[in-house]
Structure 1
Amino acid sequence: MTLLYGGLFTVIALGVLGSAQQLQLYVLNELFTADAHQGNDVPCDQRPPDVPCSLVPYDSHNGNAPSGGSSGLRDDLASSQQLITVAAVLVITVLAFGLSWWLTGRLLRPLHRITDTARRLSLSTMHERIALTGAPSELKDLADTFDAMLDRLQDSLDSQRRFVANASHELRTPLAIQRTAIEVGLVDPSPEMLARVRAELLRNVQRAERLIEGLLTLAQGERGLDIRSRVDFAATVNQVISDQQPAAHRNGVTIAAAINHVAVAGDEVMLTRLAANLVQNAVHHNHPGGHVLVELADDATLVVRNTGPQVPPDRLDELFQPFRRLHRDRTKSAEGAGLGLSIVAAIVHAHGGTVQATANTRGGLTVTVALPVLTELALSEAVG
């Protein structure tokens, strides 16, 4: 950059000085030529006695000096001007490269700081930030954008660490229960004990299957969608409500629905899982005699509202994180693994929608999912 800026400034200075010198030479030539012509027009009777009329041209400024004196003066002026121009070019060149080197170093100092920070970054130093101060500028905007990206990466890494730790714990729990059941059952392999061990093993295997399926669905939702197709979201929600009616009847919960016809662009299997998780949570986290209200508006907004225990408002964000439960019953929670709403959030984000949970004043939860309404243009862009 120093060579570029210094060279560019020098070329411009040379062009300006050269043009100025040529203009000055032209003016000098015009002046001396005019003086010479003026001398030729002086009559003989008005000339000094020592200047004969045969002397042509006559220089009225130098008396009896011939025209050759004017030419010499002009050449001397031109030569001195060239020397001054060459000296000015040398000074300008030195100053241009010196100032360019200083200015480039000053301007690129924040960029060097950004580069050094990027080189030092690793999993153990992800907490470092550039934290560039000063007046707003392009480089400060770049540094702030880089810091914001690092914040997102830090959050992602922290979430990944928590997810791996929780997933390993959740997978370890059913395996430990199965091993204990086998070891205890084999001590006294009576028919009654074998039946109990068999039932316990089957329950934990089913729980592990649900956990693995939930992890796979969560990973697919966080990865996003590769192909989108037209999905009749109203039919999907109605089918989910129909499938959950037996479980609601067993728990003494009533499901009411207000469904409008609407279509969205996305993955039908994942959207079915989204609606099923919402209705399952609403039925499971309820009380006998409670109710669940499922509403689907024509703008593809799905609202699932249920009665149930009080939900602390300050813990609503935790519900969308993997393996977070309001009641930590890790060993007896055969109905789920704490992935329900986190899977919902991943699927919603994969479809370009939003999800929000609100605690009801009388207990229970209201979850609102807003998905983009299907249009022919949106479907063609999604498929394309």
Structure 2
Amino acid sequence: MNRRNTVVDPAGGPAPSGRPRRLTARMKLTLTYALFVVVAGAFSLVMVYLAMRFVPYYPLADVNPQAAAIATRPDILQALAKASGIVLLLLALIGLVAGWLIAGRVLRPLQDITRAARRAAHGSLDHRIGLTGPRDEFTELSDTFDDMLTRLQRSFDAQQRFAANASHELRTPLAVSRTMLDVAVADPEGQDYRRLVSRLRETNQRGIDITDALLQLSALDHTPPAMEPLDLADTARGAVDTVREEARTRNIALVADTRPAPVTGNDVLLRQLTLNLLHNAVRHNLPTGGSLSLTTGPDPARPGRALLTVSNTGPPLSDTVDRLTEPFLRGSGRLAEQDSTRRGHGLGLAIVASIVRAHHADLALTPNPGGGLTVRVSLPGAA
């Protein structure tokens, strides 16, 4: 039976040892460098040996019989062979030492990346590698890893905010309902039960709306919608007709310019996207005398795509508008409107962003100089 032990990684922290042991990358590079040096040296010595062996040989005669004997070519070749062995041994030692040092220097950025990855695996996402120096494979890997950590940290922070806000939003209707019921139990004779039932129904409906929106968000992120060719202008006109009465009661001038915009998409989801944008534009407008415009048509900046634009007047937006697509973040702040007809659950633009991702479209939110917001959705045109 295999047993999984735990060892200490050189980069710091425990490392699983379930895999079979093998040479480290530094040792492999060291042996490679040493082998290359030895092979190169051996090749050079062999060339010298062959040159000495096959060059023309002219025997030398000693004119002085009492002088020391002159070395012959066999003697020279034998001495060269012995010297070659010593040289190859020295080259192997030099290759091992130099290869070990060079490999350590080359792999040092990889060790920094390993340490950062291990810290990230233990939940620390605020650490960045930040390799400096010229652009190479390691700096590209480091920059990519740092960018991944930034995205992960942003995603985890958004998830934490989502969990906290969702808990708060779902708890609020339940707490309100319990308070009204406790008051009714404490003073049953002094209650207007018709009004109590109406308020309980309104509070319960709000909880249902939040739950439905959360389910819709989850479904959009995991289930690809069915696509078909359609005209975005027709979808937009239907959404405008739905919102027109609410805009009239709020004294908001609604102008629609729906030119043909053929796209490939899901009609139900695109209608929901348009409705959410229109409701958001109506409910976050000026108290009186506001305006709202919707346009559809070809995207002038990107041929072959369709563009949906919704723009409204309203209070100036000081915060980063890109965060408005986060769940439960309202343009006017964290608290809901006191007027139940203006109250939203903070999921409208989050659902819009999910529908945009499902259609492989682009979403751009731009604050207007005089206040309000302009939302542009660029969708792929019909194939």
**Amino acid across the alignment from 2:239:** V
Structure 1 range deviating more: 132-141 or 96-105: 132-141
Aligned partner of 1:316 in structure 2 is 321
Aligned partner of 1:298 in structure 2 is 298
What is the 5 A alignment of 1:182-201?
182-189=181-188, 193-201=192-200
Aligned partner of 1:340 in structure 2 is 348
**Distance between the aligned counterparts of 1:123 and 1:93, measured in 2?**
42
Aligned partner of 1:14 in structure 2 is 42
**Distance between the aligned counterparts of 1:162 and 1:123, measured in 2?**
21
- Do the aligned partners of residues 123 and 272 (structure 1) sit closer, same or farther apart at CA in structure 2, a change above 3 Å counting? farther
**Distance between the aligned counterparts of 1:84 and 1:333, measured in 2?**
98
C-alpha contact 2:276 2:348 (8 A) present in aligned 1: yes
- Do the aligned partners of residues 290 and 173 (structure 1) sit closer, same or farther apart at CA in structure 2, a change above 3 Å counting? same
**Distance between the aligned counterparts of 2:374 and 2:47, measured in 1?**
79
Give the deviation of 1:331 after TM superposition: 7.1
Measured against aligned partners, the alpha-carbon deviations of 1:241-298 in whole angstroms (never above 9, x if no partner) come to 1222232333333432111222223333322211110111222233445432210012
- Do the aligned partners of residues 187 and 196 (structure 1) sit closer, same or farther apart at CA in structure 2, a change above 3 Å counting? farther
**Amino acid across the alignment from 2:347:** L
Give the deviation of 1:310 after TM superposition: 2.0
**Amino acid across the alignment from 2:34:** G
Task: Give 3-state SS (helix, strand or coil) of 2:365's partner.
Answer: strand
**Distance between the aligned counterparts of 2:309 and 2:362, measured in 1?**
12
Aligned partner of 1:212 in structure 2 is 211
- Do the aligned partners of residues 318 and 125 (structure 1) sit closer, same or farther apart at CA in structure 2, a change above 3 Å counting? closer
**Amino acid across the alignment from 2:293:** L
- Do the aligned partners of residues 215 and 190 (structure 1) sit closer, same or farther apart at CA in structure 2, a change above 3 Å counting? same
Aligned partner of 1:381 in structure 2 is none
**Distance between the aligned counterparts of 2:370 and 2:139, measured in 1?**
49
**Distance between the aligned counterparts of 2:126 and 2:311, measured in 1?**
40
C-alpha contact 2:316 2:370 (8 A) present in aligned 1: no
Aligned partner of 2:23 in structure 1 is none
**Distance between the aligned counterparts of 1:359 and 1:331, measured in 2?**
21
**Larger helix proportion, structure 1 or 2?**
1
**Distance between the aligned counterparts of 1:162 and 1:87, measured in 2?**
69
Task: Give 3-state SS (helix, strand or coil) of 2:366's partner.
Answer: strand
Give the deviation of 1:223 after TM superposition: 4.8
**Amino acid across the alignment from 2:307:** T
What is the 5 A alignment of 1:261-272?
261-272=260-271
C-alpha contact 1:310 1:359 (8 A) present in aligned 2: no
C-alpha contact 1:207 1:336 (8 A) present in aligned 2: no
**Distance between the aligned counterparts of 2:338 and 2:268, measured in 1?**
28
Give the deviation of 1:92 after TM superposition: 1.0
**Amino acid across the alignment from 1:276:** L
TM-score, reference length from structure 1: 0.80
**Distance between the aligned counterparts of 1:315 and 1:104, measured in 2?**
46
Task: Give 3-state SS (helix, strand or coil) of 1:330's partner.
Answer: coil
C-alpha contact 1:324 1:338 (8 A) present in aligned 2: yes
1:365 aligns with 2:373: yes
Give the deviation of 1:137 after TM superposition: 2.9
C-alpha contact 1:130 1:143 (8 A) present in aligned 2: yes
**Amino acid across the alignment from 1:323:** F
Aligned partner of 1:278 in structure 2 is 277
Gap regions ≥5 residues in structure 2: 1-27, 300-305
RMSD value, Cα: 2.7
Task: Give 3-state SS (helix, strand or coil) of 2:298's partner.
Answer: coil
Give the deviation of 1:230 after TM superposition: 2.9
Give the deviation of 1:107 after TM superposition: 1.2
**Amino acid across the alignment from 1:9:** V
Give the deviation of 1:191 after TM superposition: 9.5
Give the deviation of 1:93 after TM superposition: 1.3
Task: Give 3-state SS (helix, strand or coil) of 1:132's partner.
Answer: coil
Give the deviation of 1:236 after TM superposition: 1.3
**Amino acid across the alignment from 2:309:** V
C-alpha contact 2:321 2:367 (8 A) present in aligned 1: yes
Paired residues, what number? 342
Bigger CA radius of gyration: 1
Aligned partner of 1:356 in structure 2 is 364
**Amino acid across the alignment from 1:304:** V
Aligned partner of 1:44 in structure 2 is none
C-alpha contact 1:252 1:290 (8 A) present in aligned 2: yes
**Distance between the aligned counterparts of 1:331 and 1:284, measured in 2?**
10
Task: Give 3-state SS (helix, strand or coil) of 2:124's partner.
Answer: coil
Gap regions ≥5 residues in structure 1: 36-58, 376-384
- Do the aligned partners of residues 190 and 221 (structure 1) sit closer, same or farther apart at CA in structure 2, a change above 3 Å counting? same
**Distance between the aligned counterparts of 1:359 and 1:100, measured in 2?**
58
Which structure ranks higher in relative contact order (CA pairs < 8 Å, sequence separation ≥ 6)?
Answer: 1
Task: Give 3-state SS (helix, strand or coil) of 2:256's partner.
Answer: strand
**Distance between the aligned counterparts of 2:234 and 2:188, measured in 1?**
50
Aligned partner of 1:139 in structure 2 is 138
